[in-house]
Structure 1
């Protein structure tokens, strides 16, 4: 009898210890709103929208303690539209993130799967489009620098260092998975950030490579690192940038610069509908530069105000469009997990360039060189 009780007691202790060493968390964010746009293809529009600041999502995050400061980790994250329940990221079940890896407290994390690139990891948090203070509609034209994470990297191996007195760094490689085509639809990136008190500094680089058959306008290797959700279809895309922000009391001010260079550009995604269709893109090149000044202020612990101005200049198939975009958001927290927000954007493209205004995430460009959008919405996190 005593042995039976002892065995039962030890079994309970070991079961409790095993449960304490591993965990799985269900989490998510729902962003729903109503957006008014003054001009979409020549008409004003009222839209019920999902994810106009932060993409609606749910996910599973897990960790298992392996001892000695080492953990096994995984993330499976789904994106969806709250307005119609459909999957995001071109119908992928876990289109936002899907990876597994090992994490060390002293060294860092190595992970494999579908993941964010280093521009998103390190530089995006310094731009309002990469945060809760602006998001989708604050993105630079066409999200040309991916600060709003329009696409992720498939087949990728990523390393992110531990935090060394405020300094972090990382790199990623996305395989083409094509026999005889190692560089056909591959990706690689690297980035670093440093934090000291209120100062944050970051820089990052991203490159995508593809190969095309003569006259083709689509990626020939759909199973590679990026396929189906990237804005540009080009033989090579190079994106790099740097940023700095400084927090003083309840205020934070920031500056971000990014540049994207494209060679043998053969296609621009649907989000770039402001580009006239008559422009020939085959074997052409394009160049974007973005300058963002931003700031945010906590008026009270529950009420925030954020705004930014972005100037973008580009060269696309011989034309030289320029965009000026002004953004403003205010948000009020009803609780730690729920807030309501009101935000607006005004974009103006330079006259005579042949490019119409096209605020990111609205689905249609203006019929003129100007566009205004206002969104009222709420976000709930769980």
Structure 2
């Protein structure tokens, strides 16, 4: 007991540490027609404005402008209490060192550089809060292995300091490190550069994800994705846009390109949010997505919200609302799913 107290006193004398518990709890009701062979369905839903989650963030002052940092975060369903997947910290786990002069280095399970440029292009109240339509088009098909670049295991990244609004990041994932010897599977390398000043943001990122096109012959392949993005804000009004192009090197000749335009307009005690996206994909698949929403602030931390969204598919496209109803991530080609949702979000 004495040694523990002494150690605690010693660390207090030499360093200042912080530990923050944070989270978001979001519950909603939604009603929509998710495919042509099912009737319109009413459902309870979790995380329709922002995914419900909780996490721990810590930092220790090492002196001389250096800090040690860590972050652990996991998602969960508000209605069932079930954690998000089989991974304990499925929304990231990392530890690193940072310097006011030299930047930061982190290692763990985390987003890599392309995600941050894509996130910055969505100017909605909380960023990516309109996933029902817009994100469904630019999600897994255009930005790497899954999600908006996805969380990558066995990853390291370096971030530069911010020089008058200019910053950059490089990241590398060692991949799945599969025990069967498929060591290149899931390897990833990417970088970004962003400029944020005078009410605007300009960004560019590139991502190269490796995988085996044939797991029996271990035929190597990769997916190369690039994104450019810009935002501008004036008088509380914001507009954001991006363009994404992605192509795979295997024999499928798969490619996809997409653009996004979205806006946030203050109105009363909340924000009106508008978004449209278009995706062109190989095999002549074409899709458009639209959404309109309103976020009403009960307080700084608590909001009521409502959205209406629709995806328009041509006869070769089968995009569904996978983020709102995983059973219908794809639909009958040519079907146009729609959904309305209303919910309550609070944070701590």
Change in 2 beyond 3 A, CA 1:109/1:115: same
RMSD: 2.6
| 1:284 pairs with 2:270 | no
2:248 touches 2:254 (CA, 8 Å); kept in 1?
yes
| Partner SS, residue 183 of structure 1 | coil
* Larger CA Rg, structure 1 vs 2: 1
Q: Which residue of 1 is the match for residue 3 of structure 2?
A: none
Matches within 5 A, 1:1-382: 17-18=12-13, 21-40=16-35, 41-88=37-84, 90-127=85-122, 131=127, 133-141=129-137, 143=139, 144-146=141-143, 149=148, 151-176=150-175, 177=177, 183-213=184-214, 235-264=221-250, 283-300=251-268, 302-315=269-282, 319-350=283-314, 352-353=315-316, 355-361=317-323, 362-363=325-326, 364=328, 365-367=330-332, 368-382=334-348
Change in 2 beyond 3 A, CA 1:214/1:377: closer
Question: C-alpha offsets along residues 32-78 of structure 1, whole Å, 9 cap, x if unaligned?
Answer: 11111124343211111112232111000000000011000000101
2:143 touches 2:246 (CA, 8 Å); kept in 1?
no
Q: Unaligned 5+ residue runs, structure 1?
A: 1-10, 221-233, 265-282
2:137 touches 2:277 (CA, 8 Å); kept in 1?
no
Q: Unaligned 5+ residue runs, structure 2?
A: 1-5
User: 1:146 deviation in Å?
Assistant: 3.8
2:53 touches 2:73 (CA, 8 Å); kept in 1?
yes
User: 1:113 deviation in Å?
Assistant: 0.2
Change in 2 beyond 3 A, CA 1:330/1:15: farther
TM-score normalised to the size of structure 1?
A: 0.79
| Partner SS, residue 55 of structure 1 | coil
Change in 2 beyond 3 A, CA 1:136/1:76: farther
User: 1:178 deviation in Å?
Assistant: 5.6
User: 1:18 deviation in Å?
Assistant: 4.3
Change in 2 beyond 3 A, CA 1:252/1:243: same
User: 1:122 deviation in Å?
Assistant: 2.6
Q: Measure the CA separation in 2 of the matches of 1:245 and 1:332.
A: 23
Change in 2 beyond 3 A, CA 1:369/1:19: farther
